[in-house]
């Protein structure tokens, strides 16, 4: 069973992976209108906002037609998948561990208890004065909602005088995204330095590293737009090993033992510090930049194969360098055209370009952005070549926002 919320970027990739493996897929989704004919599979209705109820629906289904695995494609499905898999006696993460990854405040507390290197942090609760809390952490700091993603509502604050205005803005973004009225905000010390993303797979509690991505664009705020991801990392081997060890400590501290993990860390001042760990694979279409093994299996195929209990050699990323650019959104407005696509695709090394917002849609840049504009993929001999291809191709695009 694959848990796919209504607006997943991953539906096609996971269904293709199931087909590759000749696995019969059942979809758990909260989409009201599921075009079953198009998907060609069975569906079970769930509700991402009610994980316990949803897990019961999955378990009910499994009592009629046994399942071999319950796999969540995205953050919204990880808790129900863990609850259902536990109930069914299938491989799973402890639901409480998974729940902790869904709340950045809870995650920070557990990581602190486990002694994992991370930014200093405080919670801004309902009755707290944001200025006092931020001053305790020190400046610059970062204010963020506890439960959003894609850098939504994440803002750097440089001085006390700006705190109230920025905290109010973060609160508004969180509310608009459907955060609970009592949800706290999180304040963290700003960690300078290069950032990396680690894509991992937990197999019986052991962390296999599937890929380590550099993020070659400096992300110093005040907003944190995601752009380039390039693998393999150009950091030196010692630092890479420390990142891997840190992520290993973090998953152990949280109690995660099974399935994909996506972690982010910053490297600076001789220190490696953990930004966060999610109990899912990389978001958006970014996973398409990865291929594994001799046959070039996709990330989703690799994950489903592992979930179905195949064991053997750990998945090995294909040796070529690869990368993805999440197309930046320069302004708020209506997306009227994306020109130069053929020229971008003609740049050597560029593999694919996919827009994920229809022309005519309203778009917003971070920290308000709630969707990705599109993804461009490249492969090449070296990470430098991949980065250069993506930058050159991006310069060919004219993204017209009115």
Ligand X SMILES: Nc1ncnc2c1ncn2[C@@H]1O[C@H](COP(=O)(O)OP(=O)(O)OP(=O)(O)O)[C@@H](O)[C@H]1O
The footprint of ligand X (CB under 6 A) covers: 119, 142, 144, 148-152, 154, 188, 190-191, 195, 219, 224, 226, 264, 266, 275-276
Size of the site for Mg ion (CB under 5 A): 2
Least distance to Mg ion from the beta carbon of 149, Å? 7
Could you say which of ligand X, Mg ion, none residue 88 binds, taking C-beta under 5 to 8 angstroms by partner kind? none
Q: How far apart are CA 155 and CA 223, in angstroms?
A: 5
Could you say which of ligand X, Mg ion, none residue 191 binds, taking C-beta under 5 to 8 angstroms by partner kind? ligand X
77, 1 Cβ separation under 8 angstroms: no
Identity of the residue, 264 or 370, whose beta carbon is nearer to Mg ion in the bound complex: 264
Identity of the residue, 253 or 349, whose beta carbon is nearer to Mg ion in the bound complex: 253
In the region spanning residues 262 to 281, those forming contacts with Mg ion, defined by CB under 5 A, are: 264, 276
Identity of the residue, 103 or 352, whose beta carbon is nearer to ligand X in the bound complex: 103
Tokens of 401: 């926002």
Least distance to ligand X from the beta carbon of 153, Å? 7
Q: Which stretch, 49-57, 71-79, 257-265, 310-318, contacts Mg ion (CB under 5 A)?
A: 257-265
Three-state DSSP class for 153? Answer: coil
Could you say which of Mg ion, ligand X, none residue 152 binds, taking C-beta under 5 to 8 angstroms by partner kind? ligand X
Could you say which of ligand X, Mg ion, none residue 368 binds, taking C-beta under 5 to 8 angstroms by partner kind? none
Least distance to Mg ion from the beta carbon of 55, Å? 26
Least distance to ligand X from the beta carbon of 393, Å? 22
Could you say which of ligand X, Mg ion, none residue 307 binds, taking C-beta under 5 to 8 angstroms by partner kind? none
Identity of the residue, 47 or 225, whose beta carbon is nearer to ligand X in the bound complex: 225
* DSSP for 64-107, written as a single string: HS--S--EESSGGGHHHHHHHHHHTT-S---HHHHHHHT-HHHH
Least distance to ligand X from the beta carbon of 77, Å? 16
Residues 53/263/68/255 CA torsion (nearest 10 deg): -70
User: What element of type H or E holds 231?
Assistant: strand 228-231
Least distance to ligand X from the beta carbon of 220, Å? 8
Cis-peptide into 275, omega within 30 deg: no
Least distance to ligand X from the beta carbon of 121, Å? 8
Identity of the residue, 67 or 187, whose beta carbon is nearer to ligand X in the bound complex: 187
Tokens of 317: 């990323």
Residue 214 β-bridge partners: 196, 230
Q: Which stretch, 17-25, 223-231, 259-267, 341-349, contacts Mg ion (CB under 5 A)?
A: 259-267
**C-alpha angle 380/385/391, rounded to 5°?**
115
Q: Using alpha carbons only, how large is the chain's radius of gyration in Å?
A: 21
Q: Which residues make Cβ contacts (< 8 Å) with residue 70, sequence separation at least 6? A: 1, 3, 28, 58, 81, 84, 85, 88, 90, 92
Could you say which of Mg ion, ligand X, none residue 31 binds, taking C-beta under 5 to 8 angstroms by partner kind? none
Cis-peptide into 361, omega within 30 deg: no
- Strands 398-401 and 259-268, by their bridges, are unpaired
Least distance to Mg ion from the beta carbon of 330, Å? 22
Identity of the residue, 188 or 199, whose beta carbon is nearer to ligand X in the bound complex: 188
* DSSP for 279-336, written as a single string: SS---TTGGGG--BTTTTB-HHHHHHHHHTT--SSPP-B-SSEEEEEEPP--SSEEEE
Identity of the residue, 40 or 268, whose beta carbon is nearer to ligand X in the bound complex: 268
Identity of the residue, 170 or 219, whose beta carbon is nearer to ligand X in the bound complex: 219
Q: Name the residues that contact Mg ion, by CB under 5 A.
A: 264, 276
């Amino acid at each position: 069973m694959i848990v796919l919320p209504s607006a997943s970027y991953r539906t096609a990739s996971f269904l293709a992976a199931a087909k590759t493996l000749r696995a019969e897929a059942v979809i758990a989704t909260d989409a009201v209108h599921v075009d079953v004919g198009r998907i060609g599979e069975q569906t079970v209705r769930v509700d991402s906002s009610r994980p316990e109820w949803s897990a019961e629906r999955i378990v009910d289904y499994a009592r009629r037609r046994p399942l071999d695995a319950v796999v969540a494609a995205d953050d919204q499905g990880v808790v129900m998948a863990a609850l259902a898999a536990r109930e069914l006696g299938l491989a799973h993460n402890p639901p409480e561990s998974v729940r902790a990854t869904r709340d950045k405040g809870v995650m920070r507390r557990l990581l602190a208890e486990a002694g994992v290197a991370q930014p200093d942090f405080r919670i801004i609760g309902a009755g707290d004065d944001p200025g006092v809390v931020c001053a305790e952490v020190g400046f610059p700091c970062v204010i963020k909602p506890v439960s959003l993603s894609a850098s939504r509502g994440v803002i750097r604050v440089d001085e006390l005088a700006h705190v109230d205005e920025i905290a109010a803005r973060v609160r508004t973004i969180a509310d608009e995204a459907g955060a609970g009225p009592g949800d706290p905000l999180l304040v963290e010390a700003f960690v300078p330095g290069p950032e990396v993303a680690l894509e991992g797979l937990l197999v019986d509690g052991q962390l296999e590293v599937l890929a380590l991505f550099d993020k070659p664009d400096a992300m110093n705020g005040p907003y944190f737009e995601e752009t380039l991801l390039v693998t393999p990392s150009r950091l030196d081997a010692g630092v890479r090993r420390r990142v891997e060890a840190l992520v290993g400590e973090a998953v152990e501290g949280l109690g995660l033992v099974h399935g994909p993990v996506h972690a982010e860390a910053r490297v600076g001042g001789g220190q490696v510090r953990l930004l966060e760990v999610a109990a899912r694979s990389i978001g958006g279409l970014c996973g398409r930049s990865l291929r594994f093994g001799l046959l070039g299996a996709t990330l989703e195929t690799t994950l489903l194969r592992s979930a179905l209990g195949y064991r053997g050699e750990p998945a090995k990323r294909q040796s070529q360098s690869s990368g993805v650019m999440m197309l930046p959104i320069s302004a708020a407005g209506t997306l009227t055209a994306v020109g130069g696509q053929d020229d971008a695709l003609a740049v050597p090394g560029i593999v694919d370009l996919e827009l994920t917002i229809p022309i005519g849609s309203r778009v917003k840049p971070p920290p308000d952005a709630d969707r990705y504009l599109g993804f461009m993929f490249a492969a090449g001999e070296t990470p430098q070549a991949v980065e250069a291809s993506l930058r050159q191709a991006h310069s060919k695009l004219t993204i017209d926002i009115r």
